[in-house]
Amino acid sequence: MTEDTARTFASERVAVQRALDGFCARWLGDVAPLTAEAIRYALLGEGKRLRAILLLEAYRACGGTGVALDLAASVEVVHAYSLVHDDLPCMDDDDVRRGRPTVHRVYGVPVATAAGLAMVPLAARSAWHASKAMGLSDLVAADIVRDLMDASGAGGMIGGQLLDLEGEGVQLTLEALERVHRLKTGALIMASVTLGARAAGATESRRIALARYGASIGLAFQIADDVLDITSTTDQLGKTAARDLDLNKSTYPALLGVEGAIERAVALVEDGCAALQEEGLLTPTLEQLARYIVERRS
Burial 66-78 (b: 16+ CB within 10 A, else e): eebbbbbbbbbbb
* Cα radius of gyration (the chain): 18
- The band of 233, judged by pLDDT with boundaries at 50, 70 and 90, is confident
Query: Model confidence over 71-119: pLDDT tens digits?
Result: 999 999 999 999 999 999 999 899 999 889 999 999 999 999 999 999 9
Asked if residue 120 lies in contact with residue 103, where contact means CB atoms within 8 angstroms, the answer is no
Q: Does residue 176 have a pLDDT over 80?
A: yes
pLDDT tens for each residue of 137-175: 999 999 999 999 999 999 999 999 889 888 888 889 999
Q: Mean pLDDT, to the nearest integer, of 121-134?
A: 98
- A 10 A CB-CB count for 170 gives 10
Residue 168 contacts residue 200 (beta carbons within 8 Å) = no
Question: Which residues does residue 100 pair with via DSSP β-bridges, in sequence order?
Answer: 97
C-alpha count within 13 angstroms, C-beta hemisphere, residue 103: 29
How far apart CA 35 and CA 125 sit, in angstroms, is 18
Amino acid 275: pLDDT: 98
Q: What domains does the chain contain, in order, with CATH numbers?
A: 3-295 (1.10.600.10)
CB 275 within 8 Å of CB 217: no
Q: Where are the alpha helices (DSSP H) in 45-101?
A: 50-61, 69-86
Distance between CA atoms of 295 and 105, rounded to whole angstroms? 31
Confidence check: pLDDT of 4 > 80 = no
Q: Which of 196, 182, 212 is nearest to 272 (CA)?
A: 212
The number of CA neighbours under 13 Å toward the Cβ of 76 is: 33
What is the reported pLDDT for 241?
A: 65
- Rounded Cα distance, 132 and 126, in Å: 10
pLDDT of residue 242: 65
Average pLDDT for 112-134:
97
Q: How far apart are CA 290 and CA 266, in angstroms?
A: 9
- From CA 249, how far away is CA 269, in angstroms rounded? 24
pLDDT at 44: 95
Phi, psi angles (nearest 5°) of residue 154:
-65, -25
**Whole-structure pTM value:** 0.95
Q: Where are the beta strands (DSSP E) in 98-234?
A: 100-101
